[in-house]
Structure 1
Amino acid sequence: MSGHEQAAELPVIAAEVPRNLEAEQAVLGMMMRSKDFIAEAVEAIRPADYYRPAHELIHCAVLDLYAAHEPVDPFTVAAKLTERGELVRCGGVNYLHSLVNNARSIAHAARMLGRVRETALRRRLTEAGLRIDELAQSETPIDDVVAAAVAEVFAATDQDPTATVANLADVMEGALDEIEAIGTVGSPSGIPTGFHELDQMTGGLRPGQLVVIASRPAMGKSTLALDVARSCAIHHKLPALLFTPEIGRNEVAMRLLAAEARVPLHLLRSSNMTDDDWTRVARRMPDVSEAPLFIDDSPKLTFTEIQAKCRRLRQRNDIRLAVVDYVQLLDYGLRRFQSRYEEINEISRHLKILARELEIPIVLLSQLNRGPEHRIDKRPQLFDMRDSGTLEDDADLVIMLHREDAYEKVSPRAGEADLIVAKHRGGITGTITIAFQGHYSRFVDMVRERSLPEQQHGEADEPTEPARPTE
């Protein structure tokens, strides 16, 4: 008999589910004896942390009585469970009395709280492991399996009820540091976008923000997003992550070189570069090559993959910004939805949660509906996003990109673009005019008051020039 045949005959031993019924009983007994302990229990565990379903029902009944400022004891809990038709399932009045009678002390029950929480975590990890194993044995693509496995582990361990609670004194220290940095340095406290007026208006892109850049097709929103990533990674040496399902990594590299070296993009794609062009490229190549910019050009990108990769690179490389181009190209992942509208809603909501979790700004690109094309001035409005689900609600900052010359070939505003800050949670809104240099694949400030990287290498800055046809 071969080794494989012997292994196949070995019995499969099911792992015992982690549980501690004694600890659960001690906690519930003390909750029915001391209202002070109820508050402690609420901060430490959740109803779903109990292994025995009956204990979860008792816990919920206690919480309902506590919230209604009613007495909490075996009699009132029994009455509440009877009202819900759950008393028999919970062992009856005698069981409730036994829980109270066997409760020792608040100190002992507090230790038992820790054990209930620990066994619940072990149980969730065990369940996550089973789901991961099932996926690994299926025909699911391996990249999806890896992304789902990471998501499962994070979901299983991200269950601390007190994680969002902070003492105001601790919060104020960080807030004062941020205020002081703004006042003394005079620069954005968040990630600089590379556009002076926009940074002045917003303070830069803040940790935890979901920033939506929206426009009709062919306005240059991918170029604008790349400008933001370029400012972060090349000009300020802050690690950034760029997701570009539609644009390959080589194309991204060429656009970065064109923007930084001020060499027309179509020349980089051809063999017509002059010696001066090569000199410009060579001068900027080291800074571009050494920039901490990570590019993911997976053609079929899912939110699950974005979540896993952002978490991994945040942990390993301390990324400070993530850019996703664009939401209408994404799938959620392994979950299925009744409509595309519902799926985009879920992607938007979870990207906002991810930004808060990782404490980085996430820039999400989105296409607008056809509303602007039916208006005389073609300018986008905030309600043009409504066909994209809850993006408007989830976003902290909404920047709409508009170019008049995209509609009028002969325009007095040729080469100009408007950044319409249509939503700014906790801040001002308005319109900022910048210049579009499509031949360099970049946007720039209309009046550049600060030195650019080219100047640092001894080159004089050039005046803002009108756009040429986009390559």
Structure 2
Amino acid sequence: MTSMTPETSAGEGDLFEGDPAMFPDQNRGGAPAAFRAEPDGFDRVPPQDRDAELSVLGGMLLSKDAITAVVEILKGYEFYKPVHETIYLAIVDMYGKGEPVDPITMKEEFTRRGEITKIGGASYLHTLVQSVPTAANAPYYAEIVRDKWKLRQAIEAGTQVTAMGYAQDADPAEVIEASAARLLTLQASFDMGKDPAGWDTPMEELIEAWEDDQAAGENPGLPMPWEDLQSMLCTVPGHLVILAGRPGMGKSVALLDLMRHLAVVHDRPAAFVSLEMARRQIMNRLIAAEAEIPQHDIRKRALDDGQWKKYDKVRDRITTSPLRLIVPPGGITVPQIRSALRRWQIEDRLPNALAIDYLQIVKPDGQGRGGNRTNEVDAIARGLKEIALEFDLPVFAAAQLSRQTTGRESKVPQLSDLRESGEIEQAADAVILLHREDYYEPESERAGEIDMIVAKNREGSTGIVTAGFRGRFSKIEAMGQDF
């Protein structure tokens, strides 16, 4: 195996489509001049391996098996020298058409395209073949090329982070957030396999995947404490589910119940992000619901012996459950949520579901601040849906309904009552409107009941699921259970 020695000549072209005003002199996969030059004037060359690049292309010109193996590793942009990317893409194109690939056929192809001079002439193609020790090692050389590209990507990311830090009007929190997102995005991009977006997935493969899913048996969807609602929604990864209601209607109770049921009852990781309660308040509600101890007694710290016994019975179950309660200091933006999930993804700690309480108080990101409020909420709703799809998990978010519900004779909420944004309804896979008669009429015949009105359901039917609202225990239970 020959040693791959980096070339010492600089390449051309851009690795990233960055801001040319910010990085006017970046070269292919490199860094601005200020970061390429040593104090003594020595030019620092971005990571590359000319011999590996030559050997990859030479192997592909000698063997179609090498082509098949290399295309699983490289896309073309990983080459440091633009001419090598041009040759690589031409080889892949010819191979894809079923044409023979060798120095002679490629010379004819480049001549036909008028690019034979651009790639250094026919002699350069023969040089590629002569430089490869053996075509069988082409995949190994391709890994070297990809690793050098990753290093250039890391250098570029670091340069961009440095530039943000030096900006005169830089906000430290925003710079740190953007830096973390940039670096975590870079890590995630390195982990992507072949055709991650499905651009080239044939229908036969999709059909086979569908058949495998059907053969796996019934999919009840994400476990919920209310069987009728679970059956109606059949919530799966990628869904955005909105639970909407007026203040005090039970949105937070419903969200925490969902995550508590998933983590404590089914031992599946769940994350509850609260933007309006302290962690102590959430813990009070969690223990009240699980141990069935009135919240009032917990808040007063006035538990009697019987209540302590109830707590003792559930303590281990709560302690060992994979539930995370998150209260971000100073609020949170969609990019910050994405960054946290990306870190968990890298650490293999993604939850099975994420709950956000609540949507309209998620902070707009730096670009959205000071803008139109409707546009800000639209962007937040779209961002949460994108997160559900990107991380392949269901996202539940509470949303506030407008005051117009209280001004009508019928207080039953409608989709049009969603406050400040039509995009919430558009982005959601399901919208559940919460309604309690006793919220408006304490002496109602339906006191203690809550209607979960499925007003939108992209993958199923709509309807109403009625459950028992046990406010003093911060709990919603399926009808028919002993209260």
Q: What TM-score do you get using the length of structure 2 for normalisation?
A: 0.69
Q: Per-residue deviation at 1:109?
A: 8.7
- Matched with 1:125 is 154
The alpha-carbon distance between structure 1 residues 346 and 418, as it changes in their structure 2 partners (threshold 3 A), is same
Q: What TM-score do you get using the length of structure 1 for normalisation?
A: 0.70
- Matched with 1:194 is 225
Q: Secondary structure at the match of 2:410?
A: coil
- Which of residues 402, 422, 426 in structure 1 aligns to 2:435? 402
For 1:335-393, what per-residue CA distance to the aligned partner results, in whole angstroms no more than 9, with x for missing partners? 55654444444443343333334332221222234454454423333344484363333
Gaps of 5+ in 1: 1-8, 183-187, 449-460, 463-471
Structure 1 residue 292 corresponds to structure 2 residue 322: yes
For 1:443-468, what per-residue CA distance to the aligned partner results, in whole angstroms no more than 9, with x for missing partners? 111223xxxxxxxxxxxx43xxxxxx
Structure 1 residue 309 corresponds to structure 2 residue 340: yes
Contact 1:208 1:352 in 2 (8 A): yes
Contact 1:78 1:93 in 2 (8 A): no
Letter in 2 for 1:324: I
- Which of residues 229, 238, 247 in structure 2 aligns to 1:217? 247
Q: Secondary structure at the match of 1:237?
A: coil
Q: Per-residue deviation at 1:223?
A: 1.0
Work out the CA distance in 1 between the residues paired with 2:45 and 2:278. 48
- Matched with 2:209 is 171
Q: Secondary structure at the match of 2:172?
A: coil
- Which of residues 408, 424, 428 in structure 2 aligns to 1:391? 424
Work out the CA distance in 2 between the residues paired with 1:371 and 1:56. 60
Q: Secondary structure at the match of 1:351?
A: helix
Work out the CA distance in 2 between the residues paired with 1:350 and 1:66. 40
- Which of residues 427, 447, 459 in structure 1 aligns to 2:480? 447
- Matched with 1:154 is 187
Work out the CA distance in 1 between the residues paired with 2:425 and 2:88. 38
1:340-379, aligned counterparts within 5 Å?
340-370=373-403, 372-373=405-406, 375-379=408-412
Q: Secondary structure at the match of 1:353?
A: helix
Work out the CA distance in 2 between the residues paired with 1:397 and 1:407. 26
Contact 2:373 2:420 in 1 (8 A): no
Q: Per-residue deviation at 1:321?
A: 1.8
Q: Secondary structure at the match of 1:263?
A: coil
Cα RMSD of the aligned pairs, angstroms, is: 4.6
- Which of residues 413, 417, 425 in structure 1 aligns to 2:458? 425
Q: Which moved more, 1:224-233 or 1:317-326?
A: 317-326
- % of aligned pairs identical? 32
Contact 1:302 1:332 in 2 (8 A): yes
Q: Which moved more, 1:12-21 or 1:237-246?
A: 12-21
- Matched with 1:415 is 448
- Which of residues 46, 51, 59 in structure 2 aligns to 1:17? 46
Structure 1 residue 322 corresponds to structure 2 residue 351: no
For 1:62-99, what per-residue CA distance to the aligned partner results, in whole angstroms no more than 9, with x for missing partners? 999999xxxx999999999x9xxxx9xxx977868888
Q: Which moved more, 1:314-323 or 1:294-303?
A: 314-323
- Matched with 1:457 is none
Work out the CA distance in 1 between the residues paired with 2:184 and 2:314. 39
1:24-173, aligned counterparts within 5 Å?
49=78, 117-134=146-163, 140-141=172-173, 144=177, 147-148=180-181, 150-154=183-187, 156-157=189-190, 160=193, 162-165=195-198, 167-168=205-206, 171-172=209-210
Work out the CA distance in 1 between the residues paired with 2:427 and 2:60. 38
Q: Per-residue deviation at 1:130?
A: 2.5
The alpha-carbon distance between structure 1 residues 92 and 324, as it changes in their structure 2 partners (threshold 3 A), is farther
Structure 1 residue 251 corresponds to structure 2 residue 281: yes
Q: Secondary structure at the match of 1:269?
A: helix
Work out the CA distance in 2 between the residues paired with 1:58 and 1:386. 55
Q: Per-residue deviation at 1:319?
A: 2.5
* Paired residues, number: 426
Work out the CA distance in 1 between the residues paired with 2:376 and 2:86. 33
Contact 2:255 2:355 in 1 (8 A): yes
Work out the CA distance in 2 between the residues paired with 1:21 and 1:391. 51
- Matched with 1:260 is 290
Work out the CA distance in 2 between the residues paired with 1:235 and 1:253. 17
Q: Which moved more, 1:209-218 or 1:19-28?
A: 19-28
Contact 1:193 1:199 in 2 (8 A): yes
The alpha-carbon distance between structure 1 residues 258 and 402, as it changes in their structure 2 partners (threshold 3 A), is same
Q: Per-residue deviation at 1:415?
A: 2.2
Work out the CA distance in 1 between the residues paired with 2:206 and 2:335. 34
- Matched with 2:15 is none
For 1:1-39, what per-residue CA distance to the aligned partner results, in whole angstroms no more than 9, with x for missing partners? xxxxxxxx976977533456788899999999xxx9999
Gaps of 5+ in 2: 1-37, 97-104
Contact 1:435 1:443 in 2 (8 A): yes
Letter in 2 for 1:229: M
Q: Per-residue deviation at 1:422?
A: 2.4
For 1:412-451, what per-residue CA distance to the aligned partner results, in whole angstroms no more than 9, with x for missing partners? 3322222122232322222111121211112111223xxx
The alpha-carbon distance between structure 1 residues 293 and 45, as it changes in their structure 2 partners (threshold 3 A), is same
